[in-house]
Structure 1
Amino acid sequence: MLASYRQLFARPGALAFTCYGLIGRLSFSMLGVSLLTAIVQRRHSYALAGAVSAAGLVGVAVGLPLLGRLVDRYGQRRVSIPAALCSAVPRTALPFLLHGGAPDWTLFAAATTASVAPNLGGMSRARWAHLYGAEPALLHRANALEQALDELCYLAGPVLGVLLCTTLFPEAGLLAISGLATAGGLLFAAQRRTEPPVAPAPDRGTSAPLRAPGVPALVVAFFGTGLVFGSLEITTVAWTGAHGQRWATGLLLGLLAAGSGVSGLVFGLRPESADPVRRLLLSLAAMSALLLLPLTAAACGTGPGVLALVLFTTGTGTAPTMVSGMTLLQRMLPAAALNEGMALVVSGIVTGISAGSALGGLLVQHAPGARGFGLPAAAAVLALLTALLGTRRLRISVAAVGNAS
């Protein structure tokens, strides 16, 4: 397996941009838990912590597509360097505002503006598409690697954030995030050997991702996937609390991410499909079926040991879905719209996570027990149905880009 993935780094500069991008993405995975922990410890309000965190997600959902459009027009380096520096100001100010007892509205403002930062995950995938766009098997493997790295971040990030906030001082995690995000963004942008050239677009209509057939359906499908992530996380937290096993929360969520990471690496070794739409539909169907497992296990009254095994197995369905969706998007959009398209998909996921957390919280509050695990399963079915309804337009978009190239 290692030899297969080592082949990706034969191109000069590939390892460098991957490592620097990983540093910046680690900071994003630390943000949620670090922000919640710091605000709860300083302001003693879960409501304020949740609201500020939601404001940050709004900044991500709105800002990423705008930055993605600028990247497509002017290039990664010219946009991401000033964006990284500008977002570093409110990101660094946030822990000092919190520590100094600044008014609550300043926390909202800082969290929202700090979230308008470069989309390193999307730009990494755009670089892989530039390097291996003519070699579908290697591009598929690169997307699988990116998904595994995402899961690695979401395994290590929350643990590191909690460790810093609880062993040093409440704002330590936020300060570390500021340093990692800024350094990772600037070092990533400095890797010019692998930066995709700016592709000319004849007019706005041909380069607008949302005007491409099938892209809106794909964004909605990823919104459904985000619903799965957000609702499954808060349902698991509620389940451990209701059963007096809160100590197991981190372990259960970590195993969920581990299952996804392992399956992503294995999935990347499979041959690339000649029909990316079909592969996405099969991945969504598998994810929907696997999400019935935690619902069944919780309904049967199993303990944390069995649920841990179930969640690891359930997690194996998420990475193939993400990899298939990203690979499909790369084949649906021209190079002149790829960064904005990636940002739109990430915004859909982030918005879905936020909505899933809110809906999941309401459900477990008013319907405790195993029924909370029904929401992630329903969200996966929603994503599958959306993709099914958009199948024809997805195929049209892939064919159009293939004919143009």
Structure 2
Amino acid sequence: MPNPYREIFRRPGTRGFSAAGFVARLPLPMTTIGLVAMLSQTHGEYWIAGAVSATFALANAFIAPQVSRWVDRKGQSAVLVPTTVVTFVAMLGLAAAAWLRWPNWMLFVFAVIAGLMPSMMALVRARWTEIYRDRPELHTAFAFESVLDEVVYIFGPVLGIGLSVTFFPEAGVLASAAFLVIGTALFVAQKSTEPRVDPRRQTGGGSVMRLVPMWFVVAVFAGMGAIFGTAEVSVVAFAEAMGNKGAASYVLSAYAAGSFIVGLVVGAIRFETPLARRLVFVSLIAAVTTLPMPFVGNLWTLTLVVFFAGAAISPTFITGMSLIERIVPASQLTEGITYAMTGVGIGFAAGSSVAGWTIDAYGASNGFWVAVAGGAVAFATMLIGHGRLSRPSRQVDTPSAAPTATLNPAE
């Protein structure tokens, strides 16, 4: 039986850009947690650490789609070089401001500027799409990248915290800046796989969010983001309530492992089910797997429950990314994927904050009800939007930038 993952790497250049993209996407989770580790040590206050980290995360959530839109208009290399340089300087500024104890407002300014960091997850997927558009190999490629995303979000925070604690407070942020420059330089150097720029996009055009189906997909991703944003906070609180706070890392590892394993399996399967119907199904599973969370009574049961909950994450993302590829114009794919990841970020922030408030008010176990709500939002969104996502609405580029229906996104 042929290995589908080996097949996708037969094309020249695929190994190189995927490896470079892996290095270049490490900085996002490393920076978010690295800022907390750095500032909690240099300033001794968690409020400033959390506020600066949140400022960076929210700035990136809102700026990254605009950067990706610029990428679709001008090309990856033309945009990645200047935005990476500016981001790198801002991250050095953050480290310097912490080390030299510059005024707090400067930390927030640098955090906003660092939010210019490009969405490498979208840029890598855009290259895969350029190579395997409308071919079954694209599904496998998206699955592979989703698995790498899991690895990044498992080891990125560990690396960011570990460097700061082991060496000096600024080490995590500085390492993140180095990974960004090295990974991006290697990525940009590979010209043969860079997507072509459609000349008709040079003068701009409307945002992909003018397309109603995109709102449904982004809302589903926001619901999924709320699930694992809630999980991170609630698992730590539950483990602490059980008298073993350190066990939270093992429980969360099981969550990531579930997504990792199932993502590999899903990527090896050739599905015949229409994408829209498949997204309804996987969002239902994601919602159902959250239901036992508020009722668990011990850490072993929680580990098993979150493993199955994690198993629903990667199929949802893989299917959603494939659906976006069918919805948006080919020349705006990077922007479309970035908006989906923005939905994840907003859902994550909302889920973690609401879960924290719920835990403080009603106890650790009740924090998981926010994950249940996130799953319900994702599934309800797909029920409402299934009809619209199933109708022929594939957008294509035209000289007037007007969308025309040519292909059923559900196929």
Q: Are residues 1:89 and 2:89 paired?
A: yes
Deviates more, 1:387-396 or 1:158-167: 387-396
Aligned 1:281-292 pairs, distance under 5 A = 281-292=280-291
Q: Is the 8 A contact 2:73 2:204 kept in 1?
A: no
Partner of 2:399: none
- Secondary structure of 1:197's partner? coil
State the shift of 1:399 in Å: 4.8
Does residue 1:175 correspond to 2:180, yes or no? Answer: no
Instruction: Spell out the pairing of 1:5-404 with structure 2 (5 A cutoff).
Output: 5-135=5-135, 137-201=136-200, 208-297=207-296, 301-302=297-298, 304-396=299-391, 398-399=393-394, 404=406
CA distance in 2, matches of 1:386, 1:398: 18
8 Å CA contact 1:84–1:186 kept in 2: the answer is no
CA distance in 2, matches of 1:311, 1:54: 25
* Native 8 Å contact 2:329 2:394 kept in 1: no
3-state SS in 1 of match to 2:292:
helix
- Match for 1:309: what amino acid? L
Give the Cα–Cα distance (whole angstroms) in 2 for the partners of residues 215 and 292 of structure 1.
27
Cα offsets for 1:322-372 (capped at 9, x unmatched): 111001001111112111111111111111111111111111110103111
Is residue 224–residue 352 contact of structure 1 (8 Å, CA) maintained in 2? yes
Contact 1:207–1:334 (Cα < 8 Å) also in 2: no
- Following the alignment from structure 1 to structure 2, what is the Cα–Cα distance between the partners of residues 398 and 385? 21
User: Does the C-alpha gap of structure 1 residues 214 and 312 become closer, same or farther in structure 2, counting only changes over 3 Å?
Assistant: same
Cα 1:397–1:55 shift into 2, 3 Å: farther
- The count of aligned residue pairs is 400
CA contact (8 A) 2:4 2:137 kept: no
Deviation per CA, 1:214-244, whole angstroms, max 9, x where unpaired? Answer: 1112112211111112111111111112222
Alpha carbons of 1:116 and 1:203: their partners in 2 closer, same or farther (altered >3 Å)? closer
Q: TM-score, normalised by structure 1?
A: 0.94
Q: 1: CA distance between counterparts of 2:95 and 2:205?
A: 43
Larger RCO of the pair (alpha carbons < 8 Å, separation 6+): 1
Unaligned runs of 5+ in 2: 397-403
Give the whole-Å Cα distance in 2 for the aligned partners of 1:284 and 1:31.
30
Per-residue deviation, 1:11: 0.8
In percent, how many aligned pairs have the same letter?
Answer: 34
- In structure 1, C-alpha distance between the alignment counterparts of 2:51 and 2:201, rounded to whole Å: 42
Deviation at 1:202, TM superposition (A): 7.4
State the Cα distance separating 1:293 from its structure 2 match: 2.9
**Equivalent pair of 1:294/1:314 in contact (CA under 8 Å):** no
Kept in 2, the 8 Å contact 1:223–1:352? The answer is yes
Cα separation, partners in 2 of 1:203 and 1:187, compared to 1, 3 Å? closer
Matches of 1:140 and 1:36, distance apart in 2 = 36
**One-letter amino acid of the structure 2 residue matched with residue 244 of structure 1:** G
Whole-Å separation in 1 of the counterparts to 2:196 and 2:367: 47
Any stretches of 5+ residues in structure 1 without a counterpart?
none
CA deviation profile, 1:121-169 (whole Å, cap 9, x unmatched) = 001111111110131x211111100110000111111221221111111
Moved more, 145-154 or 191-200: 191-200
